[in-house]
């Protein structure tokens, strides 16, 4: 009986969401692994492989955080960031990349990105992002 109550309590904690995150990445493996990191911390995650789909999602839904891969061309994350600035200017956007490109870094930071990170995101990166940009302290995160 005690085990059943404990299990029910854990399940109810997992269904609680801190907020909504949009992750945009053409690489489905990266997209899934990044989503898992945020979902494990109680966030609802919308995943988009296509940048035009991400823009449509921003039109329809309010997000607490957007994480966008710069993609093979530096324009993709910039397009998402520009559109986010028009529709949801108070929503922080993290831009990530497999390589550090100084010119891309400067462009996205000028457009309002709050961070530019190298992929893949780590658990430490996610915890820092949540604390710095959404005010969620690690002690407030749902353990997995």
Q: Convert the pLDDT of each residue in 69-126 to its tens digit.
A: 987 665 788 999 999 999 999 999 999 988 777 888 899 999 999 999 999 899 899 9
> Is 38 a member of any domain?
yes
> Is 10 a member of any domain?
no
CA distance 106 to 116: 9
Tell me which residue has tokens 């039109």.
Answer: 59
pLDDT at residue 72, rounded to an integer:
64
Question: In terms of pLDDT, which residue wins out, 7 or 105?
Answer: 105
> Is 103 a member of any domain?
yes
CA distances (Å), origin 30, targets 4, 45, 55, 83: 35, 14, 19, 23
> Is 53 a member of any domain?
yes
> Is 9 a member of any domain?
no
pLDDT at residue 17, rounded to an integer:
59
Helix (H) or strand (E) holding 67: strand 65-69
Whether the predicted pLDDT of 13 surpasses 60: no
Both structure tokens of 111: 């457009």
| CA dihedral sign of residues 100, 114, 83, 29 | positive
CA distance 80 to 55: 6
* C-beta of residue 78 within 8 angstroms of C-beta of residue 108: yes
> Is 119 a member of any domain?
yes
Whether the predicted pLDDT of 15 surpasses 60: no
The conformation of residue 139, written as its DSSP 8-state character, comes to G
Peptide bond into 120 cis (omega under 30): yes
* C-beta of residue 20 within 8 angstroms of C-beta of residue 62: yes
pLDDT band at 135 (very low <50, low <70, confident <90, very high): confident
Beta strands in 88-134 (DSSP E): 93-97, 115-118
Beta bridge partners of 139: none
Instruction: Give tens-digit pLDDT for 45-69.
Output: 999 999 999 999 999 999 999 999 9
Domain that holds residue 71: 15-140
What's 122's domain CATH number?
3.40.50.2300
């Amino acid at each position: 009986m005690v085990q059943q109550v404990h299990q029910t309590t854990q399940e109810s904690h997992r269904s609680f969401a801190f907020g909504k995150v949009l992750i945009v990445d053409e690489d489905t493996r990266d997209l899934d692994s990044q989503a898992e990191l945020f979902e494990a911390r109680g966030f609802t995650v919308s995943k988009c492989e296509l940048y035009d789909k991400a823009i449509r999602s921003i039109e329809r839904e309010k997000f607490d955080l957007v994480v966008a891969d710069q993609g093979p061309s530096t324009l993709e994350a910039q397009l998402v960031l520009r559109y986010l600035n028009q529709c949801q200017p108070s929503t922080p956007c993290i831009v990530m990349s497999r390589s550090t490109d100084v010119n891309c870094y400067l462009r996205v930071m000028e457009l309002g990105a709050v961070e530019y990170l190298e992929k893949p995101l780590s658990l430490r990166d996610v915890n820092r992002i949540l604390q710095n940009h959404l005010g969620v302290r690690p002690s407030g995160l749902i353990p997995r």
